[in-house]
Amino acid sequence: MKAEAMASSRCGPLGACVLLICAVATAVYTAFPVSVNPCTYSLPRALLAVSGLDPYIVSCAADEDAFTAPLSNGGNDDKNIGGPIVTNLLTCGKPKLPPHALPPFYCCPPMSASEPIDFTFPDPSEPLRVRRPAHAVGAEYMAKYERAIALMKALPDSDPRSFYQMANIHCAYCTGSYRQTAHRELNVQIHFSWFFFAFHRAYLYFFERIAAKLLGEPGFAVPFWSWDVPEGMRMPVEFANASSPLYDPVRNPRHAPPKVVDLEFVRSSVDDKFTDEQQIQQNLRVMYKQMISNAALPSLFHGQPYRAGESDRPGAGTVELFPHNTMHTWTGDLARPSVENMGVYYSAGRDPIFYPHHNNIDRLWEVWRDVGAARGYRGHVDFTDPDWLDSSFLFYDEEARLVRITVRDVLDIDKLRYAYDGVGTPWLDAKPPATPNVNTKKGLLKSVRFPVSLDDVAVTAEVRRPRVLRSRREKEVQEEVLVIDGIETDGADMVKFDVYVNAVEYEKVEPGGREMAGSFVCLMHPSMDGTGKGMGIQTSMRVALNELLEDLGADGDDSVTVTLVPRNGKVSIGGLRIVYMME
Ligand code: C2O
């Protein structure tokens, strides 16, 4: 795959293939964006693809057929690549943990005396478990969740239903403990790819059934932390009570209630830069952009395809990056090197708030599909790729039986016998307005020669649109996507830059304004050789344009102006181009 030059914006000589280095480098770390991970990104309102083998990045000079390139195995012709990713208990071994990790240092589940059984759906006559928002469910109900956690914590560590083992499940699936069955050199990793929503749904399903069983209440449902609606934008008070089993001392003390959450929070974020009202408004805008503007296709929402034989972390979906990762970081303890517990994969499940947090993530998957169906967004549908559907994970159920569950098994929550009690989607109305007169200097732009380094000054370039005024039908089928190629940094410092579209005078755009299409954040990554230098990072990023260009009244223009505004660190940009994506 070769990145081609465009009229006024050239892709760098580093094609997408160099990104693989980043993916591989990342595989050995287990962190959320705050920690020392080379390829973790915080992208408010942005789409990011971190794919060395990206089937979607097609040349801007390519012919029509290339625009409709189907999902493939990533363009890799290796016959051993492709097929579902399958977990096998026998491949579970030592996790790769960040420096200064907190014990335990091993997270594989107990061995099972028998082979895993295949998942079967619960009986349709079972009571429907209705998941409700923690902020509204009432103290009595929250006390049940508290009791369930206490009961799990009271089980011996060797019991696969104990809280200890519950937390370990997450650790095992994200630290390289499991290896791919037919490719032992490769990790199984359920973040930064199309498994993000599906894996966590299955995880929560078993967690909830175990809780219900221990409580002796078959209808018990885990409450969700609805940080996407104003009433839920604080940590539910029960979790902050130091004498409760829901309390975790390894959290950010500054973020206890009544602190309003910051859905874009990264390690370097400044608390209190907004009033509560402004922060809530900003959060709603983040939700709108991540759920609607930037999540127009399954790969943009769920994450990039990841098949047997491929390296992990091909690229996360919108919600995984923001607000999922950011809420992990917001909750964890910034005084810890890896922001334990919530702020890093290996320890996140040790905080009882992890499960209500992921419950909300799971609900957003439902919301994304429902909004799509209601509004006729054709891209708001799940993958139909058998490699996705047939991939499977292992869990112990409420009877302590080892069960193999596939992605296909978790697509219909009705069949799983649970539902969500709605909290509304106020962020659907939070689309920010366009800012008038911020692109009038477009005509004065000088052409930019890529690669360009983005140190102190913003860079604005004009990017040609291969097609203008596409029909409604064409837009429904294909998303116009801005690809920022050849992003390179030495990893010595954290890098953040913002991407504005059609706003040469970007300073005039208010925070979260419409023209601010996305941000790139790559955290500091010191190399492990003791030299104090950073580890080189190469990656790319994407921003969805269909809706944005309509909102900016720019759909008839034959080019867009893209302004890259450096916010932190040194980075070089290989080039900009526009492509059309189908899935
Ligand atoms: Cu598996 Cu919220 O991470």
**313: pLDDT strictly greater than 90:** no
Together in a domain, 351 and 483: no
Q: Would you say the CB of residue 313 lies under 6 angstroms from ligand 1? A: no
**Alpha helix (H) residue ranges in 418-559:** 472-477, 546-551
How many domains are contained in the chain?
3
From the CA of 324, give the closest atom in ligand 1: 2
Residue percentage of the chain with pLDDT more than 90: 65
The reply to whether 42 and 93 lie within a common domain is no
| CATH number for 329 | 1.10.1280.10
- Residue 154, domain member (yes or no): yes
d(CA 564, CA 553): 21
380 annotated ligand binder = no
The CB of 348 under 6 Å from ligand 1? The reply is: yes
Q: Is residue 277 part of a domain?
A: yes
Name residues whose C-beta falls within 8 Å of residue 574's C-beta, 6 or more positions apart in sequence: 3, 10, 11, 12, 13, 14, 450, 451, 485, 486, 487, 488
pLDDT in tens, 223-240: 999 999 999 999 999 999
Based on the fold, state whether residues 118 and 74 are members of the same structural domain. no
Q: For 205-214, 355-364, 493-502, 565-574, which range has the lowest pLDDT when averaged over its residues?
A: 493-502
Cα of 345 to ligand 1 centre, how many Å? Answer: 6
- Whether 42 has a pLDDT exceeding 50, the answer reads no
Residue-level pLDDT at 535? 56
- Local confidence band at 523 (pLDDT 50, 70, 90 cut-offs): low
391 lies in the same domain as 495: no
Mind giving me the DSSP string for 376-429? T-TT-S----HHHHT-EEEEE-TTS-EEEEEGGGGS-TTTTTEEE-----GGGG
Same domain (yes/no): 450, 421: no
525 labelled ligand-binding: no
Contact status, residue 60 vs residue 83, Cβ threshold 8 Å: no
What is the predicted pLDDT for the residue at 534?
A: 56
Last residue of a domain, one of 80, 110, 129: 80
76 with 93, same domain: the answer is no
Q: Which positions ≥6 away from 217 have C-beta within 8 Å? A: 144
Look at residue 359 in the predicted model and tell me its pLDDT: 98
The answer to whether 537 and 522 are in contact (CB under 8 A) is: yes
Domain that holds residue 516: 442-581
Query: 47, 80, 113: which is the final residue of a domain?
Result: 80
Tell me the pairing of strands 392-396 and 402-406: antiparallel
CATH number at residue 506: 2.60.120
Contacting residues for 355 by C-beta, under 8 A, at least 6 apart: 204, 207, 222
Cis peptide before 451 (omega within 30 of 0): yes
* Region of poorest pLDDT, from 96-105, 278-287, 423-432: 96-105
Structural domain includes residue 511: yes
Report CA(225)–ligand 1 centroid distance (Å).
14
If asked whether residues 468 and 535 sit together in one domain, one would say yes
Indicate if 360 and 381 belong to the same structural domain. Answer: yes
- H-assigned helices in 126-275: 139-154, 163-172, 196-215
Do the domain assignments include residue 408?
Answer: yes
**C-alpha angle 566-570-573 in degrees, rounded to nearest 5:** 75
Ligand 1 pocket check for 417: Cβ under 6 Å? no
pLDDT of 20: 24
In a domain, 118, yes or no: yes
Picking from 201, 168, 133, 108, the residue whose alpha carbon sits closest to that of residue 341 is: 168
Q: Give the pLDDT mean for 131-149.
A: 97
Q: Are residues 115 and 24 part of one domain? A: no
Instruction: Tell me: is residue 255 an annotated ligand-binding position.
Output: no
CB-based contact 501:562 (threshold 8 Å): yes
Residue 315 located in a structural domain: yes
Ligand 1 centre distance from Cα of residue 61 (Å): 38
Residue that is last in its domain, among 40, 59, 80:
80
Residue 327 CA to ligand 1 center (angstroms) comes to: 10
The pLDDT, as a whole number, for residue 62 is: 22
For residue 270, pLDDT beyond 50: yes
Q: Does the beta carbon of 324 sit less than 6 angstroms from any atom of ligand 1?
A: yes
Is 183 annotated as contributing to ligand binding? no
What token pair was written down for 454? 């983005």
Tell me how far apart the alpha carbons of residues 565 and 325 are, in angstroms, rounded to a whole number: 23
Task: Name which of 339, 311, 306 is nearest 325 in CA terms.
Answer: 339
Cα 237 from Cα 359, distance rounded (Å)? 17
SS3 526: strand
Task: Give the model's pLDDT for residue 301.
Answer: 95
For the chain, what's the residue count? 583
In DSSP notation, 38-92 reads: TT-B--TT-B----TT-SS---TT--HHHHTPPP-STT---TT--S--B--GGG-
CA of residue 117 relative to chain centroid, distance:
30
pLDDT in tens, 435-480: 999 998 888 888 899 999 998 899 999 999 999 999 998 988 899 9
Mean pLDDT, rounded, for 478-486: 91
Q: Same domain, yes or no, for 148 and 113?
A: yes
Q: In whole angstroms, how large is the CA radius of gyration of the chain?
A: 23
Global confidence as pTM: 0.83
The answer to whether position 122 is within a domain reads: yes
Confidence bin at 519 (pLDDT 50/70/90): confident
Atom of ligand 1 at shortest distance to CA of 174? 1
Kindly report which listed range (10-14, 307-311, 564-568) carries the lowest average pLDDT score.
10-14
Residue 44, pLDDT above cutoff 50: no
- Note whether 341 and 488 are same-domain residues: no
- pLDDT band at 32; cut points 50, 70, 90: very low
**Cα torsion 255, 259, 261, 267: sign:** negative
- In this prediction, residues 83-88 reach a mean pLDDT of 94
Inside any domain, residue 430 = no
Together in a domain, 554 and 530: yes
Task: Give pLDDT, residue 373.
Answer: 96
Mean pLDDT of 50-72: 23
What pLDDT score does 260 carry?
98
What is the percentage of the chain residues whose pLDDT exceeds 70?
83
